[in-house]
Structure 1
C-alpha cells in the first residue's frame, strides 16, 4: 500500500482594491489607447464624435469586470466602498495610460495632428457664420486646452471623475457584503 501524500495548499493572497484596480485599469487603458490610435490615424470625425461614448462604455465594462474579478477572488464578496475604490483606481490608471499615450503620440509621433484639428474647427466656425473676433476667442480657448500636457492632465482628471461617478452607481448593484463584516 502506498503512503498517502498530503499536498500543501497553495497560498492565494486576498485580492486588494489596489492590485485588482490596477489590473483593470491597465486593461481598460490599453483598450482606450487602441481606440485613440484609431482616431488619430484615421482622423475620422465619426470616431472623434463617439470618443466620449466609447470612453463611457469602456469604463462601465472595465468597472463591472473588475468588480466581478474581485468578487470571484474574494469568496463572492465586495463591499460598496471596495467597489468604489476599485473603480477609482481603474479610472486613475486608465487615465494615466491614455494620457501618456496621447502625450507621446501628439508630441513625438504626429505633432501636426492638433494643428490639423484646429484648422478643421476654424473652418466649422467660419461655416457657422461667426465673426472673426468670435472665432479668434474660441480658437484661443481651444488652443489653450489642446496642448499635449493639458490633454495629459485632462485625461487623468476626466477618467477619474467619470470612473468615480460610474462606480457610485455600479457598486450599488455589484456589491455583496460579507455577512460577518460590517463596512
Structure 2
C-alpha cells in the first residue's frame, strides 16, 4: 500500500522547488538586464514566470491528489498552493534582495537610467530624484524590490492558484 503524502510534505517539497526555480529565473533576468530591454522583453519574462508558477502549482496539487486516492478538494488544493507560494516567495525575495544588495550593486542604477531614458523618449518632464520625498525614494531601493517580489508571488498565487485549484479538484464520487 502506497503511503499518503501529507500537505506538509507536499508544501515543503514544491515550495523549495518553486523558490529555487523562480530565483534562478529571476537572477538570470536580472543578470541579463531584462528590466532595461523594453516592454516586449518584460512581457515575455512575465509570461515565463506565470508559466513556472502554473506548472509548479499544478504539479504540487496533482502529486498530492494522486497520493490521496485521487481526491483533493478545492480548499485543500488552494491551501497547498498558498503555502507553496509563501515558501517560494520568501526564497525568491531573499535571494533577489541579496543578489542586488551585495553582488550586483549597480542594478538599481541601471534600472533608474532606463526609466530616465523612457521618460525622455516619451516627453515626460525631468525628475530630480533628490527632490523626491523619502517614502518615494524607498520604492527605488533593494529592500522594496525584495518586498515587492514576495507580494507579487502572493498576488500571482491568488489568481493562478484559484484557476489551478479549480482544475485539479476532484471530489469523491457519490453514486447511489
TM-score, structure 1 as length reference: 0.80
Once the two structures are overlaid, the 10-residue window that deviates more, 18-27 or 38-47, is 38-47
Larger Rg: 1
Q: What CA distance in whole angstroms lies between the structure 1 residues aligned with 2:103 and 2:116?
A: 24
Number of the residue aligned with 1:41: 31
Number of the residue aligned with 2:146: 152
Once the two structures are overlaid, the 10-residue window that deviates more, 121-130 or 50-59, is 50-59
Number of the residue aligned with 2:9: 19
Q: Secondary structure at the match of 1:172?
A: helix
Number of the residue aligned with 2:157: 163
Q: Which runs of 5+ in 2 are unaligned?
A: none
Q: Which runs of 5+ in 1 are unaligned?
A: 1-8
Q: Deviations over 1:92-124 (max 9, x none)?
A: 111111101111101110111111111111111
Q: What CA distance in whole angstroms lies between the structure 2 residues aligned with 1:131 and 1:59?
A: 38
The alpha-carbon deviation at position 165 of structure 1 amounts to 2.0
Q: What CA distance in whole angstroms lies between the structure 2 residues aligned with 1:178 and 1:79?
A: 9
Q: Any residues of structure 2 matched to 1:1-183 within 5 Å, and which?
A: 12=3, 14-44=4-34, 45=37, 47-132=41-126, 135-136=127-128, 140=132, 143-179=137-173
Q: Count matched residues.
A: 167
The alpha-carbon deviation at position 166 of structure 1 amounts to 1.5
TM-score, structure 2 as length reference: 0.83
Q: Deviations over 1:149-183 (max 9, x none)?
A: 21222222221121122221221121112358xxx
Q: What CA distance in whole angstroms lies between the structure 2 residues aligned with 1:97 and 1:155?
A: 10
Q: What CA distance in whole angstroms lies between the structure 1 residues aligned with 2:43 and 2:136?
A: 16
Number of the residue aligned with 1:4: none
Q: What CA distance in whole angstroms lies between the structure 1 residues aligned with 2:19 and 2:79?
A: 17
Contact 1:18 1:89 in 2 (8 A): no
